[in-house]
Chain A
């Protein structure tokens, strides 16, 4: 598909977008309730997933061209919200004065964690959108440090710390089979959260993208990997503070991993050079999963189904009990820019 001119106008963006399927059918009510689509976005009931890529985003070595990365982020946001400026797009997600959490995923260390450069680009745009207080957070300070983030527990502006700093709530949050203590960073510090997972395979749960990344908000993720994470991943995301506070998902696919995850395995990484952006974690996970499956096919790896780790939790997250989004391809508006 030919890439649109940069920056995309609303008209050019709409021309370049395509729908996976076309009709709204029986699932309208279910998904209509679950997915908070931006008002000027796709047709009602559809979830948009923007895949923004730039083959020239790399500078020398393993680094990234920060200017091109910022532009990629801007294009993705504009395409997600039909806006002519990235600031306008961010203002559709967040309100000035809110404390915004940037939930990164650092388990893979510096090899396949959320890129620091991406987070820097986001914080810059958030400042421009009037957000003055941000918290970059994940499970532990040590995880963040391994992924090159510098711990800053105090101060105004951008703080950065793990769940080990503030700990967890005393009372259990429950949904379905999940019963967990939520981290206080989420419940007491953040008004809103931008989820920044990584595009990668997971040796038990199939893939770990937007939904599963929120395991980093609970005290007992080790309890939820049975049965390839189904229904636990969906149950955890359905915990009220998570589903209510997470506003947007930006999946870091600058480097992606199609096998051997979640640990960093360089032999199974590939330069996807892109971002996946959506307000719907289920739709994003569905699209991300298919990207990983496609890459697995290209590289001769077995489909996840054959390995008994197909991420069934994605469809569970879309069911009538959870209503976290849609995984119906007919209802996913996949936009490639």
Chain B
């Protein structure tokens, strides 16, 4: 049993944010040649040393560039990206929607391989993963870029910019593993922006980490094609998918993406046997209808089963949706009540520190089996994957 205690970072966010800094402060931190363990320092973790001792060389852009893995060559030096469902067709010298991949003379390149724009040590609960090594700390990193453009993005400073617009540090996969181990992080988390757009790097980091006994988890919007996703599933230990809404309308108007491929991605992850949790950020007036909650809960139960954790998270005004208020807690409770009534076993309320629905309850005896306050684990009452009180299996990765 693990019952590590972590102080709360003070950061309450709709989507996982890189740390307890405001945007401007964060950007400044992210732009430092040597990235510090910002969150780690804030949550009282023992190490706050620079993660990268050697700043990148001034003209080192070429070291971040690798040929992309998932694309087709087309006539006239065009290419078609096969990484995400958008399937950008890109002319020579142009970039895809993500801004992190570029066609150079008919060959497609990722511009963000080993190009770490931000890195922190976070509690795994911040991702959030609630059924994956509770209390563990994750060495968390991101590059610039994203393949959608959510109007409520908390991290748009890095997700909605081009790689060259954010200063970055060169950190090849073996270095990431080494840093994670040096900082006693059993997990590497690919998060903050969108790991799909730096997939080549994720795959290599995860492989290097696995060889050294460091696990990998991915926090993604799930807007990815099946082939690259299957390759990802083969390398990582858990995937959290941000399901932005249960309506195509929201995906089209607010996310600039599509719902159907994301649902398919959840199914693919589930079939691959990789641990999966789902987060649903509840945005007032835009995706907070009862019918939507009910449709979502029914889909989850019927397609991936009642044991997949579902987190309803509180929205805070950001980016292009500053006109909306934070999600009323009553709305989150209504969403949870609907999902509970549909028969889901693990429905959480997120970004409301101290709320009872942050904790995990045994679906059989109803006793609290993981006691949480914010990102703090007060106690874990699971032994060998079972409820300590009634021996019911609690699905997850607990050690």
With A203-B89, A262-B94, A263-B77 already in contact, the answer to whether A220 and B256 are too (CB < 8 A) is no
With A107-B93, A170-B24, A262-B91 already in contact, the answer to whether A219 and B320 are too (CB < 8 A) is no
Q: Are B96 and A263 in contact (CB under 8 A)?
A: no
Give, as a whole number of angstroms, the nearest-CB distance from A24 to chain B. Answer: 37
Q: Are B97 and A265 in contact (CB under 8 A)?
A: no
- A residues 196-240 near B (Cβ < 8 Å) are 203-204, 219-220, 222-223, 225-226
Q: Are A263 and B94 in contact (CB under 8 A)?
A: yes
Q: Are B99 and A220 in contact (CB under 8 A)?
A: yes
A174 in the interface (beta carbon within 8 A): yes
Tell me if B's interface is mostly helix, strand, loop or mixed: loop
Give, as a whole number of angstroms, the nearest-CB distance from B115 to chain A. Answer: 16
A167 in the interface (beta carbon within 8 A): yes
Q: Are B256 and A167 in contact (CB under 8 A)?
A: no
A7 in the interface (beta carbon within 8 A): no
18 A-B pairs in the complex with CB atoms less than 8 angstroms apart: A107-B94, A168-B165, A170-B27, A172-B319, A172-B320, A204-B89, A219-B161, A220-B162, A222-B95, A222-B97, A222-B99, A222-B162, A223-B97, A223-B149, A260-B76, A261-B91, A262-B91, A263-B93
B164 in the interface (beta carbon within 8 A): yes
In angstroms, Cα B157 to Cα A172, docked, is 10
A164 in the interface (beta carbon within 8 A): yes
Q: Are A225 and B320 in contact (CB under 8 A)?
A: no
Q: Total interface residues on A, using CB and 8 Å?
A: 24
A130 in the interface (beta carbon within 8 A): no
With A203-B89, A223-B160, A260-B76 already in contact, the answer to whether A167 and B94 are too (CB < 8 A) is no
A109 in the interface (beta carbon within 8 A): yes
Residues of chain B contacted by A223 (CB below 8 angstroms): 97, 99, 149, 160, 256
- B residues 74-103 near A (Cβ < 8 Å) are 76-78, 89, 91-99
In angstroms, Cα B166 to Cα A220, docked, is 13
Chain B residue at smallest Cβ distance from A259: B76
Interface string of A95-131 (1 = CB under 8 A from B): 0000000000001110000000000000000000000
Give, as a whole number of angstroms, the nearest-CB distance from A231 to chain B. Answer: 13
Q: Are B93 and A109 in contact (CB under 8 A)?
A: yes
Q: Which residues in B have some Cβ–Cβ distance to A below 8 Å?
A: 24, 27, 76-78, 89, 91-99, 149, 151, 160-162, 164-165, 256, 319-320
Residues of chain A contacted by B27 (CB below 8 angstroms): 170
In angstroms, Cα B93 to Cα A165, docked, is 20
Give, as a whole number of angstroms, the nearest-CB distance from A140 to chain B. Answer: 8
In angstroms, Cα B145 to Cα A219, docked, is 12
In angstroms, Cα B96 to Cα A167, docked, is 21
Tell me if A's interface is mostly helix, strand, loop or mixed: loop
In angstroms, Cα B151 to Cα A107, docked, is 29
A179 in the interface (beta carbon within 8 A): yes
Choice from A107, A170, A179, A263 contacting B319 with Cβ under 8 Å: A179
Chain B residue at smallest Cβ distance from A267: B76
Q: Are A167 and B97 in contact (CB under 8 A)?
A: no
Chain A residue at smallest Cβ distance from B106: A263
Interface string of A160-182 (1 = CB under 8 A from B): 00001001101010100001010
Q: Are A203 and B91 in contact (CB under 8 A)?
A: yes
With A222-B99, A223-B97 already in contact, the answer to whether A167 and B319 are too (CB < 8 A) is no
Residues of chain A contacted by B149 (CB below 8 angstroms): 223
Q: Are B98 and A222 in contact (CB under 8 A)?
A: yes
Residues of chain A contacted by B161 (CB below 8 angstroms): 181, 219-220
Chain A residue at smallest Cβ distance from B161: A219
In angstroms, Cα B165 to Cα A222, docked, is 13
Give, as a whole number of angstroms, the nearest-CB distance from A184 to chain B. Answer: 12
Interface string of A74-114 (1 = CB under 8 A from B): 00000000000000000000000000000000011100000
Q: Are A219 and B162 in contact (CB under 8 A)?
A: yes
In angstroms, Cα B94 to Cα A203, docked, is 11
Give, as a whole number of angstroms, the nearest-CB distance from B134 to chain A. Answer: 37
Chain A residue at smallest Cβ distance from B151: A179
Interface centre among A164, A174, A222, A260 (most CB of B within 10 A): A222
Give, as a whole number of angstroms, the nearest-CB distance from A171 to chain B. Answer: 10
Chain B residue at smallest Cβ distance from A264: B92
Interface centre among B24, B27, B96, B165 (most CB of A within 10 A): B165
Give, as a whole number of angstroms, the nearest-CB distance from B143 to chain A. Answer: 15
In angstroms, Cα B158 to Cα A181, docked, is 13
Choice from A168, A204, A219, A265 contacting B76 with Cβ under 8 Å: A265
Top 8 A-B residue pairs of the complex, sorted by shortest distance between their CB atoms: A263-B92, A222-B99, A263-B91, A179-B320, A222-B95, A223-B149, A203-B91, A222-B97
Residues of chain B contacted by A107 (CB below 8 angstroms): 93-94
In angstroms, Cα B89 to Cα A262, docked, is 13
In angstroms, Cα B149 to Cα A225, docked, is 12
Residues of chain B contacted by A219 (CB below 8 angstroms): 161-162, 165
Give, as a whole number of angstroms, the nearest-CB distance from A69 to chain B. Answer: 26
Give, as a whole number of angstroms, the nearest-CB distance from B94 to chain A. Answer: 7
Choice from B77, B92, B96 contacting A222 with Cβ under 8 Å: B96
Q: Are B164 and A164 in contact (CB under 8 A)?
A: yes
Give, as a whole number of angstroms, the nearest-CB distance from B85 to chain A. Answer: 13
In angstroms, Cα B319 to Cα A219, docked, is 15
Residues of chain B contacted by A170 (CB below 8 angstroms): 24, 27
Give, as a whole number of angstroms, the nearest-CB distance from A142 to chain B. Answer: 10
Residues of chain A contacted by B162 (CB below 8 angstroms): 219-220, 222
Residues of chain A contacted by B164 (CB below 8 angstroms): 164
| Further 14 A-B residue pairs, CB within 8 A, beyond A170-B24, A222-B98, A226-B256 | A107-B93, A164-B164, A167-B165, A172-B320, A174-B320, A179-B320, A203-B78, A203-B91, A220-B160, A222-B95, A223-B99, A225-B97, A262-B91, A263-B92
Residues of chain B contacted by A226 (CB below 8 angstroms): 97, 256
In angstroms, Cα B157 to Cα A179, docked, is 12
Residues of chain A contacted by B93 (CB below 8 angstroms): 107-109, 263
In angstroms, Cα B162 to Cα A261, docked, is 22
Residues of chain A contacted by B99 (CB below 8 angstroms): 220, 222-223
In angstroms, Cα B91 to Cα A263, docked, is 6
Give, as a whole number of angstroms, the nearest-CB distance from B108 to chain A. Answer: 14
Give, as a whole number of angstroms, the nearest-CB distance from A219 to chain B. Answer: 6
Give, as a whole number of angstroms, the nearest-CB distance from A201 to chain B. Answer: 11
In angstroms, Cα B95 to Cα A328, docked, is 33
Residues of chain A contacted by B319 (CB below 8 angstroms): 172, 179
Give, as a whole number of angstroms, the nearest-CB distance from B352 to chain A. Answer: 28
Interface centre among B27, B76, B91, B94 (most CB of A within 10 A): B91
